[in-house]
Amino acid sequence: MNSCSNKRKQRGVTLIELVISIVVLSIAIVAMMNSFSVSMRHSADPLWRNKSLKLAQLYLDEILAKNYDESTPLGGIPFEPTPLCSSLNSDGSETRETFDDVDDYNGVDDLPPVNLSNSIDVSYALYRVTVEVTCDGDNVGATGGTSDNHAKKITVIVTPPGQSPMTFAVYKGNY
């Protein structure tokens, strides 16, 4: 018998194969880690958006529950035929607790946000809420008689901490 034929062939990986596999695996791991870091960086976005939406809804509900104008009667009927848009701010002596019409909220800038009926969760402490009220009857076709001021655009801007501002807008009609 030949001694060469009885020898088994060695099986295994060469050094070159080992180095190539390490390089390929390290490239794959780096790519996976980069994709995880990108997704982790944006994982809080839905939380900020949801909290901002809730805060904007809170403010809009409060504002829309008020009268259209200082001279609008309780319930809005009959509507004010010539509403004024010359002074879209509180009447001077009013505070947030005594605001009685939409105009009074123009210029509100709260940091932290304020809820008049309940306390707001401390997780909202670094959120900023600003409110702008403008007469915008022309853009929505709410004109009548001698006045084009039959719709007011209420814009609530919520700025979460370290994020860009989110803008929410609604219209309040003169009724």
Q: Which residues on neighbouring strands pair with residue 154, listed in sequence order? A: 133, 170
For residue 46, the model assigns a pLDDT of 79
For residue 4, the model assigns a pLDDT of 54
Cα 168 from chain centroid? 7
- pLDDT confidence of 151, banded at 50, 70, 90? confident
Phi-psi region of 76 (alpha: psi -120 to 50; beta: other; left: phi over 0): left
Segments making up each domain of the chain, as ranges:
12-40, 44-173
In the predicted model, is pLDDT for residue 1 greater than 70? Answer: no
User: Among residues of the chain, what percentage have pLDDT more than 70?
Assistant: 74
Q: How far apart are the C-alpha atoms of 132 and 130, rounded to whole Å?
A: 7
In the predicted model, is pLDDT for residue 144 greater than 70? Answer: no
For residue 132, the model assigns a pLDDT of 93
Question: What are 18-59's pLDDT values in tens digits?
Answer: 999 999 999 999 999 888 877 777 666 778 888 999 999 999
Give Dmax over CA atoms of the chain in angstroms: 119
Question: What are 112-123's pLDDT values in tens digits?
Answer: 898 877 788 888
CB 131 within 8 A of CB 63: yes
Taking the model in full, what pTM does it have?
0.69
Cα 53 from chain centroid? 5
- pLDDT confidence of 71, banded at 50, 70, 90? confident
Q: What is the 3-state secondary structure (H, E, C) of the chain?
A: CCHHHHCCCCCCCCHHHHHHHHHHHHHHHHHHHHHHHHHHHCCCHHHHHHHHHHHHHHHHHHHHCCECCCCCCCCCCCCCCCCCCCCCCCCCCCCHHHCCEHHHHCCCEECCCCCCCCCCCHHHCCCEEEEEEEECHHHHCCCECCECCCEEEEEEEEECCCCCCEEEEEEEECC
